[in-house]
Amino acid sequence: MRQKELMIYRNMEDGELLRDMAWLMSCYNMQPLRQEDMPFSQGREKPGDREGMRELFYDCIHRLIELAGRYGFHGNLWHCYLTNLLVNNENSYSCGCEIRGEIEGTINDAALHDIVIFKEFFDYDFTDMGVVLDVKEFSMIQNYVSSSRESKVYNTRICTRICELAEKFCQDNTPEEMKATLTDFYREYGVGKLGLHKSFRVSHDENGVHIDPILNITHVTLDELVGYEIPKKKLTDNTDAFVAGKKANNCLLFGDAGTGKSSCIKAIANEYYGKGLRIIEIYKHQFQDLNAVISQIKNRNYKFVIYMDDLSFEDFEIEYKYLKAVIEGGLEKKPENVLIYATSNRRHLIRENYGDREEIRVDMHTGDTVQEKLSLVSRFGVTIYFGAPDKKQFQNIVKALAQRHGLTLPEEELLLEANKWELSHGGLSGRTAQQFVDYLAGQGY
């Protein structure tokens, strides 16, 4: 097989399995086998006899089953594996097609050249290899039923899409049709981890800064957040403009605790994913990595919201100065596909003291000190206030949540118990209402 002739789809993660399978396809019926024909992954020192090939075939089956456990694949695992290679390989063709669809130029000819080779792998009949090497168990991975446990890499939504794409590839009669199917996938979902996942977090190790997928994000929508229609409209108007490629502002969601600020960010991650929006969560101690994160995403075709939850600074914390330069003020222009959304319980983000405004002060230029502390919030063009609900609004939230959870408690008793609950559990807020309803649901009401 011709995997060594691939021009674009090279250096693939989990690509060693492809090399071993390609070698088996080319050499399983060769006898005697020359030692120099052995695959690198098996080592030059191993003898190329039939028993060695049989052992390698079983090892490939083992790795396919392990991949099924990691990714949640089902059906034909060989096809799912090949499909996973294609949808995760970030190259000049796949990154050019993400969100935008088919691109022009010679790169299409190079991509088609590689798809011809992949179609050969898809269409390969393993029957003769199984007979020659006396391996009957390969049929198990051609109709594999996965377990119900959660995938370690993909959530159910992503896994289903990859398995469905593998089935579509099997229905394509020509490499041109297969290429068109793959290009449509890139246009609709994107490529690699940034294409398949909605939200991410940042990590830093000895190899640098990494953007890692968050596998399980709460599937909440804005419609499920009771009340706050004006703040939600303000947030969606700005986000609509952003994903449409129009001018949009950085957003600060501020106000009382438990009012749904963070839930709104989760909701837009769910609702705008199909329009190419991705959310990257970053914490205060990681601000030093912001430039590295932006450099990794600025040339991609997605829209990115860098999300900072519960953002606030004490007097002794100076990270806000670094954040100011990244948002607006540094020499490098912030990419047009990046916005910053932050939530905070503080309107001005940085703690202020009365000492900042006293007439007798240690600082000779206290006006400058005040402006320095206020200048961060001014870099958020849209500020959205989330206030604590009054008693009537709180009761409306409780009633809506109780109905959504199918609680059967009479309304009068429900509201009486809700009032008791909020007095001893944090006061009037959407979070308190949700915790109260969760408690009732857990008690079987």
- Tokens for 180? 């068109």
Domain annotation covers residue 414: yes
What pLDDT score was predicted for residue 210?
95
Looking at the structure, do residues 100 and 159 belong to the same domain, yes or no? yes
Domain annotation covers residue 201: no
Residue 29 contacts by C-beta under 8 Å, 6 or more apart in sequence? 128, 129, 132
Q: Which of 362, 386, 410 is the last residue of a domain?
A: 386
Domain annotation covers residue 205: no
Top-confidence residue, 148 or 425: 425
* Beta strands, E only, 348-401: 382-386
CB 422 within 8 A of CB 428: yes
CA 111 – CA 121 distance, rounded (Å): 16
Candidates 8, 3, 1; CA nearest to 179 is 8
CA 371 – CA 381 distance, rounded (Å): 17
> How many other C-beta atoms lie within 10 A of the C-beta of residue 55?
15
Looking at the structure, do residues 270 and 409 belong to the same domain, yes or no? no
What pLDDT score was predicted for residue 248?
94
Min mean pLDDT across 266-270, 304-308, 408-412 is at 408-412
- State the pTM of this model: 0.82
Dump pLDDT digits (tens) for 323-354.
776 776 555 667 899 999 999 887 665 555 54
Residue 362 has pLDDT above 80, yes or no: no
Candidates 345, 351, 341; CA nearest to 257 is 345
CATH number of the domain that residue 263 is part of: 3.40.50.300
Label residue 37 by pLDDT band (50, 70, 90). low
What pLDDT score was predicted for residue 163?
95
Dump pLDDT digits (tens) for 185-221.
999 999 999 999 999 999 999 999 999 999 888 888 9
Domain annotation covers residue 263: yes
What pLDDT score was predicted for residue 359?
47
Looking at the structure, do residues 136 and 169 belong to the same domain, yes or no? yes
**Average pLDDT over every residue of 396-421:** 90
Residue 94 has pLDDT above 90, yes or no: yes
Looking at the structure, do residues 103 and 130 belong to the same domain, yes or no? yes
Residue 416 has pLDDT above 70, yes or no: yes
Looking at the structure, do residues 286 and 142 belong to the same domain, yes or no? no
Q: Looking at the 3D structure of the chain, how many domains does it have?
A: 3
Dump pLDDT digits (tens) for 97-152.
998 889 999 999 999 999 999 999 999 999 999 999 999 899 899 999 987 666 77
Q: Rg for the chain (alpha carbons), in Å?
A: 28
11 lies in which domain range?
3-196
Looking at the structure, do residues 382 and 397 belong to the same domain, yes or no? no
Looking at the structure, do residues 32 and 150 belong to the same domain, yes or no? yes
β-partners of residue 289 are none
Looking at the structure, do residues 227 and 152 belong to the same domain, yes or no? no
Instruction: Give the DSSP letter string of 300-316.
Output: SSSEEEEEE-S--B-TT
